[in-house]
Structure 1
Amino acid sequence: MSYVENMQYPQPRYHGAEGEVSASFRAAGTPPEVSSPGGSTSYLATQESTGGEFGLYKGVLGPRSAGAKTHFHRAMSESFYILSGELELFDGEKWVTGREGDFLYVPAGGLHAFKNATDDPVSMLMLFAPGGPREEYFERVAEMSQRGPEKLKEFRIRHDSYFTEDSGTGAAQRP
């Protein structure tokens, strides 16, 4: 492996000399913050708890769960790491099957979608960087989808989620 001679780390954000006690721990048995018949979401690290650096969530999708249709984010990247099961991932060009240990990185502006097309649950980590206030999105998206397409579109946009179905073009829709 080669190393860059003049590599640079980001500018320091902590300027103390001794370090500080500031870590946070979440036990594996902590119940998910959001649960529904179709799955659950656990808040591992939120925008608030990381000072906006990132948001990390564990998602569990039940069998045949619709997931999210094709969309993109303007302000943040989104990454998926498959913990168990199989997850169909749209990378902007094609659908791929993600299995345990597989990873998909989607930069800001990158089209993506996901769904569970199997008869078994799937669990994954979702990383948003920088962190956004995703908790309200996870907690209320099902409710907002019942309020009609315009309310849902407004809600999605407020949460930096631009769905191709909302643009009227129908581009890059999933099969």
Structure 2
Amino acid sequence: MTELTYPPPRYLGEGGEVNAAFRSADTEPELSSGTGNKTHYLATGESTGGEFGLYKVELGPRSPGPSTHFHRAISESFYILSGEMQLFDGERWITGRQGDFLYVPVGGLHAFKNTSDDPVSMLLLFSPGAPREDYFERVAEMTRRGGQELEEFRVRHDSFFVDE
């Protein structure tokens, strides 16, 4: 029999704690745009003690996503809940559909976009948890500003673009 290995214990109490966090499905998204894009902060890096960040992202029809980039400190995972979207795995574009999953390790090139005429919904998981909320809330504004300010914003948020 193969020996299973788990990380070392981090909780050393005897009886457990009451510390779960519930979020109702009818909670309004934290971010909404006029183009049908919405972002729900399901579990932020802050709320998970830095373990992970989990976000539900809804993209409206024909919504461009970020161009090819990588992260130095975090991995990113995509799980398609509904619709169809284009995922770039560093080598090729893949059509992701409901139930499809893409894991991008630290340093992995990736991009995504909705090229369809229908909305798409997905889960984004970042590990470890990072303050992505500021990135989501300000990326459109910073992109409009461009230049050195945009570059500094991206670096501060561990986003390194390669095809611009």
In the superposition, the TM-score normalised over structure 1's length comes to: 0.91
Task: Tell me by how many angstroms 1:7 deviates.
Answer: 1.8
Separation (CA, whole Å) in 1 of partners of 2:147 and 2:115: 25
**Aligned residue for 1:37?**
34
**Aligned residue for 1:17?**
14
**Aligned residue for 2:47?**
49
Whether 2:56 is the aligned partner of 1:58: answer: yes
Q: Of the candidates 84, 88, 95, which is equivalent to residue 86 of structure 2?
A: 88
Q: Of the candidates 3, 6, 10, which is equivalent to residue 6 of structure 1?
A: 3
Which SS does the other structure have where 2:79 is aligned? Answer: strand
Task: Tell me by how many angstroms 1:149 deviates.
Answer: 2.6
**Aligned residue for 2:68?**
70
Q: Encode CA deviations 1:132-152: one digit per residue, 9 max, x unaligned.
A: 000000000011111123211
Separation (CA, whole Å) in 2 of partners of 1:127 and 1:106: 10
Separation (CA, whole Å) in 2 of partners of 1:121 and 1:149: 31
Structure 2: tracts of 5 or more residues without a match: none
Q: Encode CA deviations 1:69-91: one digit per residue, 9 max, x unaligned.
A: 10000001000000000010000
In the superposition, the TM-score normalised over structure 2's length comes to: 0.97
Separation (CA, whole Å) in 1 of partners of 2:2 and 2:15: 28
Separation (CA, whole Å) in 1 of partners of 2:153 and 2:46: 20
Identity of aligned residues (%): 69
Q: Encode CA deviations 1:92-131: one digit per residue, 9 max, x unaligned.
A: 0000000000000000000000000000000000000001
Question: 2:19 corresponds to which letter in structure 1?
Answer: S
Which SS does the other structure have where 1:136 is aligned? Answer: helix
Which SS does the other structure have where 1:10 is aligned? Answer: coil
